[in-house]
Chain A
Amino acid sequence: MKRWIVMFGVVGMLVGCASTPDEQKPADIEDRQPSVAATTPPATKKAPATPTEPTVRAVPTDTIGKDPLKDPANILSRRSVYFDYDQFVVKEEFKPVVAAHAKYLASHKAARATIQGNTDERGSREYNLALGQKRADAVKQMMVLLGAPASQIETVSFGEEKPRGQGSTEQAYAENRRADIVHQGE
């Protein structure tokens, strides 16, 4: 009675996962080092294995010469905005980072960024997804106020699903109350 079909539409994921240093650790993959050299987007890798048509988005190789996004000395290499518990206000200390990315987007019309909101693990997964969205939206709102075109920014949430800080400690919770600015192709 094979009523349940096992689907492994994720064959290509092994490739995307090769950058994960330790399989034992339930760590996230792409958020860990936002400034790391371009990672292969697993969506395009994996989509052909799924029965639905893959939305293969071309990744335009931005010709920026020396990539300021990857220069550790440049403020643009900083990507994370941390929030207080149950808060969605971008704190003063993170405004320079947000402003730098806003300026970058304003001056690179072809550039696109995604802001990924995160929360700590406590509470409902779906409610946390919405809270993470609120954090991402708060960062976007500030970027738009600082001149970034709204059309170049997508906000999404990972909720509590992709924790950077592991475990149920205050330190991990603080690490996970965060929004990350990710530029297209990263």
Chain B
Amino acid sequence: MNSVIHRSCFMKILLPFVLLAIGVAAAPHSRAALTIEIVGSGANQIPIAIAPFRAEEGTPQALTPVISADLARSGLFKLVDPGGIAPVPHEPDQVSYPQWRARGAEALVIGTVVSRNGQYEVSFRLMDVVKGTQLAGYFYRVNPSQLRLTAHKIADAIYERLTGDPGVFSTRITYVVKRGARFELQVADADGYGPQTILASNEPIISPAWSPDGGRLAYVSFERKKPVVYVQSLTTGQRTAVANFSGSNSAPAWSPDGRRLAVVLTKDGGSQIYSISASGNGGATRLTNSPGIDTEPNYSPDGQWIIFTSDRGGGPQIYRMPASGGQAQRLTFEGSYNVSPRHSPDGKSFTFIQRQGSRFSVAVQDFATRQMQLITDGGVDESPSFAPNGRMILYASEVRGRGILAAVSSDGRVKQRFSESAGDVREPAWGPLIK
């Protein structure tokens, strides 16, 4: 009765969908919702109590519900109910540790919100309930519109202090929604909140890829009756066709310095990997030279390598080559269909899709040991990408014939599903940590 989240819990959070409509041709769909379901939990959940912040009720966005939802969604925390403890502590000297210990909490979050000159001053402290000491404490001065982001940043700080890994609650994701014959490239918070349509088209959009600084997206649009690679600024909305050569142009992948894109072009015959400038200036340098298909390039975080899909050995398998091209080494040997490789943020492993029979599953393989692990049960899983802390993998899946997004912890224990009530969601990519 003390905890609201139990092991193997199944919970639903209904998040309001807010469409920021600018311009006359605003999308006609008025209502939709992103629903998140969480299944499973981490091996060792940290019991944490989050006390309501002083005066947060009077703000446009209460912070502690967002913080609680973030931590619960990770599967690594067990939320301890703070209800009934009076007075609610907001400062360290107001905390009665035995009360929280009695509820099983090992950590406690307290905080305050103060309204000053149109801004809010948010402070929070993370207390060690067992030792009665402070583990972390931060102060933020923010605009009202930034309260939700601030809650995510607080959740990030708590997550990092207690797990040792950076939190990714304040990051963003991108994906494509198909509604009828209409395609929308959207960007939303990592919890699916506040989706914004950055491009709407009646022709397909695929393969969005975040620039390393999170400020631009590269993607493939079919608006010119063929696949063309564009780069679009998220701040200005300006877009440039960076690869529009004869034939097909696709599969953009950013170099870690954000200056180059690896792309797949067919201008010289066959689908081959080239390097181009991310600004679209200059020519294309060919990186692969095979008689078959080379596609889905992805740079290693240190920029030294590119992993990609190739059918040079018959069926599609994952290969690795130096980022400047050259001798490629085959990485996958199990299964006849391995595609869509993406590096982990630490560069030690990669995720990809493996087909077994008619099922497609998310897999992770370690570069050093070559150990391969399937981390989803399979179905029609596609397009996996790591969260920037390496702890979750976001991918596209299908439920009852409709495209949804899903995330799974890299050990396969915790699963989340994001579904969009009004459309078919596909092609997700998790954005970078913004410093």
List residues of A whose CB falls within 8 A of some B CB: 1-11, 13, 16-17, 20, 23-27, 29-30, 41-43, 46, 50-52, 55, 114, 116, 122-127, 129-131, 133-134, 137, 154-159, 161-162, 168
Interface of A is mostly: loop
| Contact of B25 with A by CB under 8 A | yes
Q: Are A127 and B295 in contact (CB under 8 A)?
A: yes
Nearest opposing residue in chain B for A5, CB measure: B237
- Does B94 interact with chain A (Cβ within 8 Å)? no
Partner pick for B264 among A8, A55, A126, A154, CB 8 A cutoff: A126
Could you show 28 A-B contacts with beta carbons less than 8 Å apart?
Answer: A5-B236, A6-B22, A6-B26, A8-B26, A25-B181, A46-B223, A52-B239, A114-B226, A123-B339, A123-B360, A124-B339, A124-B340, A124-B353, A125-B206, A125-B382, A126-B206, A126-B207, A126-B296, A127-B295, A127-B340, A129-B271, A133-B247, A156-B227, A156-B247, A156-B248, A157-B226, A158-B204, A159-B227
On whether the beta carbons of B180 and A23 are closer than 8 Å, the reply is yes
Q: Which residue of B lies closest to A20 (CB)?
A: B181
Nearest-CB residue, chain A, relative to B340: A124
Which of the candidate stretches B30-38, B194-202, B368-376 sits at the interface with the other chain?
B194-202
Bound-state Cα–Cα, A43 to B246, Å? 16
Nearest chain B CB to A5 CB, angstrom units? 3
Residues of B within 8 A of A17 (CB): 181, 202
Q: Is B224 an interface residue (CB 8 A)?
A: yes
Q: Which residues of B contact A133 (CB under 8 A)?
A: 247-248, 266, 270-271, 293
Q: Other than A155-B266, A157-B227, A162-B222, give 19 A-B pairs with Cβ distance below 8 A.
A: A4-B20, A5-B234, A5-B236, A8-B23, A13-B202, A23-B180, A26-B180, A27-B181, A42-B203, A52-B239, A125-B426, A129-B250, A130-B271, A131-B293, A133-B248, A133-B293, A137-B269, A155-B248, A158-B227
- 5 smallest A-B Cβ distances: which pairs? A5-B237, A4-B196, A161-B204, A130-B271, A156-B226
B181 with A9: CB separation less than 8 A: no
Set of chain A residues within 8 Å of B337, measured between Cβ atoms? 123
Instruction: Give Cα A30–Cα B24 distance, bound, in whole angstroms.
Output: 26
Which A residue's beta carbon lies closest to that of B250? A129
Q: Decide yes or no: A124 and B293 within 8 Å by CB, A55-B224, A129-B227 being known contacts.
A: no
Looking at A24, A27, A154, the one whose CB has the most chain B CB atoms below 10 A away is: A154
- Chain A residue at minimum C-beta to C-beta distance from B23: A8
Q: How far is the CA of A130 from the CA of B315 in the complex (A)?
A: 13
A-B contact count (CB 8 A): 176
Complex CA gap A133/B270 in Å reads 7
Candidate in B26, B181, B238 with the most chain A CB atoms within 10 angstroms: B181
Q: How far is the CA of A130 from the CA of B295 in the complex (A)?
A: 7
B152 CB contacts on chain A under 8 angstroms: none
Q: Is B415 an interface residue (CB 8 A)?
A: no
* Interchain CB contact under 8 A, A126 and B340: yes
Residues of A contacting B248 with CB < 8 Å? 129, 133, 155-157
Known: A43-B225, A137-B270. Is A124-B187 also a contact (CB below 8 A)? no
Closest to B339 in A: A124
Bound-state CA distance A20–B397 (Å) is 28
- B401 proximal to A (CB < 8 A): yes
CB distance from A38 to the nearest CB of B (A): 14
Does B235 touch A at the CB level, under 8 Å? Answer: yes
Q: When the two chains form their complex, are residues B339 and A5 in contact, meaning their CB atoms are under 8 A apart?
A: no
B residues within 8 A CB of A30?
A: 225
Cα distance A10–B206 in the bound complex, in angstroms? 17
With A6-B21, A27-B181 already in contact, the answer to whether A127 and B339 are too (CB < 8 A) is yes
Interface status of B59 (Cβ within 8 A of chain A): no
Residues of A contacting B270 in the complex (Cβ-Cβ under 8 angstroms):
133-134, 137
